[in-house]
Amino acid sequence: MNLPNKLTVARTIAVPFFIILYLCDFKIAAFVLFIAASFTDMLDGKIARKYNLVTNFGKIMDPLADKILVYSAFCLMVQNGLVPAWMFIIILAREFVVSGMRTVAASQGIVIAAGMSGKIKTVLQMIAVPLLLLVGVFAQPQIDAIVTLIANLFLWASLVMTVVSGTEYVYKNRNVFSM
C-alpha cells in the first residue's frame, strides 16, 4: 500500500477516535484530531498526483473517507443542536444522489470525476466542523459569539455549495439516467 492510501486509511481509522473524543466532551482534542485528519485529505491527493501514485483504491476510498469523517461530525453535532437536522438531511441526500449516479455510471463503464464545486463543498465542510467544535469552548462570551457566527457562516456556505454542486452534478450527468 502506498503512502497516499495509508493516509486515507489513517483518516478513516481516526473517525472512531474523533467520535469518542467528541462524546466524552474533549472538544479541543477532537478539534486537533479533526484538523489532522482533514490535513491528510489534502496531503494524500498531492502526493498521489505528484508521484503518480493514483490507484483505484484511492479513487474510491479518498472521497469516502472524507464523507465518513465530516458526516460523522455533523451527525454528532445534530445531537447537541450545532447542526440542524434538516440541514444534515439535505447534505446526506446530495451524497446519496451523487453516489447513486456514480454507481449507475460505473455499471455503464463511465467514470464521473469530482467537480470543482464538490471540492469546494468539502473544503467548506472541513472548515465548518472544527469551527463548530470550538463553539462554547471559550470563556469569553464575545469570542464565543464571533466563533459561533463564523462557524455558522461556513456551515451555511457549505450547505449552499452542497445544493449547487449536487444540482451541477445531476445536470452535467443527466445522460446517466437516459434510457
Q: Which cell goes with 46?
A: 498531492
What average pLDDT does the segment 71-81 reach?
96
**Cα 102 to the center of its chain, rounded Å:** 17
Q: Could you give the CA distance from residue 140 to residue 145 in angstroms, rounded to a whole number?
A: 9
**Average pLDDT in the chain:** 93
Q: What is the pLDDT confidence band of residue 45, given thresholds at 50, 70 and 90?
A: confident
- Collect all residues with Cβ–Cβ distance below 8 Å to 101 and sequence separation of at least 6: 112, 169, 170, 173, 176, 177
- Collect all residues with Cβ–Cβ distance below 8 Å to 19 and sequence separation of at least 6: 72, 76
Write down the domain spans for the chain: 3-177
Number of helices (H), then strands (E), in the chain: 6, 0
**Residue 82: DSSP 8-state:** S
CB 134 within 8 Å of CB 27: yes
Q: What is the pLDDT confidence band of residue 179, given thresholds at 50, 70 and 90?
A: low
CATH superfamily to which 3-177 belongs: CDP-alcohol phosphotransferase transmembrane (TM) domain (1.20.120.1760)
Question: What is the model's pTM?
Answer: 0.91
Evaluate if residue 154 carries a pLDDT over 60: yes
The residue to which cell 447513486 is assigned = 100
The per-residue pLDDT for range 102-152, each reduced to its tens digit, is 888 878 887 777 789 998 999 999 999 999 999 999 889 999 999 999 999
